[in-house]
């Protein structure tokens, strides 16, 4: 009669449970956001009227998954450590990809994007250190509002010089509106970044 290694069975069972827990709708939405990034980049790489509108739709759809994954995770009680780590990474990849392209087309000041990217690198680095210490730091509400303003700003700037811009209601100037929203996002990014640093550093010191 074969000898069954109960320890290995428990280990395999535990790993299977973790995989099933991570393979849920919220995490799938987050992954879909990442997969939409190259589609957006390919479309917006040559932003004529049609491609600009198409890229705005793809970007908007990708950004919408950011709202949906968190809502679904809370509603279904499917919040996982993988989701907490993957969600902000997906946000950063999407936003940074769009901002870099907007700089290329001279719709955003280079220094604004540099400051935003530096903030994300600093926060992500600290989050990685915290994760190595066994600490998980989820995104806070201030960071979420920062992303909302970034998404709105980017959509206005993507659609700059399209028919939506030239024939907009209330004669809005999409470049000015987008730039204003981006500066609001920059202020929130710096403030929320400081909160992240204080929070993460405090948790690291308490755990050491």
Residue 9 has pLDDT above 50, yes or no: no
Q: Does domain 6-207 have CATH number 1.10.3720.10?
A: no
Q: Which long-range contacts (CB under 8 A, 24 or more apart) does 122-130 make?
A: 122/193, 122/197, 123/193, 123/196, 123/197, 123/200, 124/88, 124/89, 124/92, 126/196, 126/197, 126/200, 126/201, 127/85, 127/88, 127/196, 127/200, 129/200, 129/204, 130/200, 130/203, 130/204
| Residues 174-196, mean pLDDT to the nearest whole number | 92
Q: At what angle do helices 25-44 and 49-75 cross, to 10 degrees?
A: 170
Sequence spans of domains, the chain: 6-207
Q: What is the reported pTM?
A: 0.79
Residue 144: per-residue pLDDT: 78
According to the model, what pLDDT value does residue 197 have?
A: 81
Beta carbons within 8 Å of 47's beta carbon, 6+ residues apart: 55, 105, 158
| CB burial of residue 132 (10 Å; 0-12, 13-18, 19+) | exposed
| Half-sphere CA count of 63, side-chain side, radius 13 A | 23
pLDDT tens-digit map of 37-72: 999 999 998 878 899 999 999 999 999 887 777 666
């Amino acid at each position: 009669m074969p000898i069954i290694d109960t320890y290995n069975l428990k280990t395999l069972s535990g790993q299977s449970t973790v995989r099933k827990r991570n393979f849920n709708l919220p995490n799938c939405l987050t992954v879909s956001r990442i997969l939409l990034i190259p589609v957006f980049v390919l479309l917006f790489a040559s932003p004529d009227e049609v491609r600009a509108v198409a890229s705005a739709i793809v970007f908007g759809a990708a950004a919408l998954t950011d709202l949906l994954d968190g809502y679904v995770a809370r509603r279904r009680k499917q919040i996982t450590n993988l989701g907490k780590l993957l969600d902000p990474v997906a946000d950063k990849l999407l936003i940074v990809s769009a901002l870099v392209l907007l700089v290329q087309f001279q719709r955003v000041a280079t220094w604004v994007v540099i400051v935003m990217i530096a903030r994300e690198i600093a926060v992500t680095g600290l989050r990685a250190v915290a994760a190595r210490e066994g600490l998980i730091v989820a995104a806070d509400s201030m960071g979420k509002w920062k992303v909302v303003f970034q998404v709105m700003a980017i959509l206005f700037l993507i659609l700059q010089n399209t028919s939506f811009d030239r024939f907009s209601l209330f004669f809005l100037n999409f470049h000015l509106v987008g730039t204003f929203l981006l500066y609001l996002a920059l202020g929130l990014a710096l403030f929320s970044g400081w909160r992240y640093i204080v929070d993460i550093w405090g948790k690291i010191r308490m755990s050491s």
